[in-house]
Amino acid sequence: MKSSIATTLLALALTGASQAQTAVYTAPVGYTTQTLVANRQNLVGINVMTPVIASGSLTAVSGATLTDSNTNFTQAITAGKTAVLEITSGSGTVPGTVQDFVTWSGNSITLPAAVTGVAVGNTYRIRLAPTLQEIFPVGTLAGSVIASTADKVWIPTGPGTYDRFWYKTGASAGWRKTTNGSNDTGAVTGDVPLLYIDGIIVEKKGTAKDLVLTGEVKTKGSNVLLAQGQNLISVIPPTGSTLFNAGLQGDIAGSALASTADIVWVPNGSGSFVRYWYKSTSPAGWRTTSTGSDNTGAVSVDVPLPPSIIIQRRSATPKVVTMDVPAAYSSL
């Protein structure tokens, strides 16, 4: 897949609780082009962002409820939408925390669960989650009167589990769901939000198609919670992220043996994957495996990362990892 960053900078003005309170910052914007290869399941990353609609500093934290007395979230966030919180400062692993939420009122938002370490004084940004319907406007993918011949979009619901969507043409046109790729399990009646740290899969039929995404370029890393199994994640930097500079070797579980190490699955562009693991004992470093258990050699040349990869978590204990951005992004 190919990606590009536009060099244009866009100044975004963000309005908070009162008309007098306005936070302004300049955000780099760009686009990515990801080629959806025909007759293949394509891993896709949502690696440019929707604009920031609210930002500030937390003035109170009570479990899963976060408050900024200077911001009116009822005014800032569109009713009925899914919003995404990013914590941008704090100690430990808190900076980079990303959490979607659907509950807010006045000066407070309520997350699905409390986030360890979030504290008064932490700064944050909030964006609206992009939706299936926005990322794939009608005509972007091949629709059909039956699910089996339509393109499908797979959205993760957990490690290795997905909801599958397809677009029905003809009478009663619209997005629908399928559980096996052939059946029709009903119409989609509302927006389907996408969390930008999650990758998605596009099962492309017929002809190849370029998917162009435009938006804000994120200049800091994001935290991803890995659960046991195969976690499909977006590689947030639109370009320049590699196996060596993404910082995974400090976060995922390394081991003396491939069989007990977390595995990074990187698409090879031909419909399969190259699997990497981090050897934590001397001589330490990235290595490859063909089976998930064998050791097929050290990685001596850095590996560019595509827009989406899979990280296989071995342990039943969840783990937060940070996907770093290249150092040059700090000057954007």
Flag whether pLDDT at 13 surpasses 60. Answer: no
Q: Mean pLDDT of all residues in the chain?
A: 91
- The C-alpha atoms of residue 267 and residue 249 are separated, in whole angstroms, by 19
Q: Is pLDDT of 69 > 60?
A: yes
CB neighbours of residue 160 within 10 Å: 14
Q: Residue 33 corresponds to which tokens in the numbers above?
A: 């082009």
Kindly tell me if the per-residue pLDDT of 2 is higher than 60.
no
Mean of pLDDT values over 159-181? 97
Provide the pLDDT for residue 85.
Answer: 98
Buried b (16+ CB within 10 A) or exposed e, 119-131: eeebebbbbbbbb
For the CA atoms of 58, 61, 65, 66, what is the dihedral angle to 10 degrees?
Answer: 0
Sign of the dihedral defined by the CA atoms of residues 190, 100, 42, 315, in that order = negative
Rounded distance between C-alpha atoms, residue 302 and residue 273, angstroms: 16
Q: What local confidence, expressed as pLDDT, does residue 20 receive?
A: 32
Is residue 309 pLDDT above 50, yes or no? yes
Tokens of 249: 């070797």
pLDDT in tens, 135-147: 999 999 999 999 9
- What value does the mean pLDDT take over residues 23-42? 85
Can you give the pLDDT at residue 23?
Answer: 46
Find the DSSP H helices in 82-229.
132-135
- Integer Cα distance of 171 and 184 in angstroms: 14
Rounded distance between C-alpha atoms, residue 151 and residue 161, angstroms: 18
Amino acid at 149: T
The Cα–Cα gap between 270 and 286 comes to 22
What's the rounded mean pLDDT across residues 1-25? 37
More confident call, 2 vs 77: 77
Per cent of the chain over pLDDT 90 is 86
Domain ranges of the chain: 50-129, 133-192, 222-331
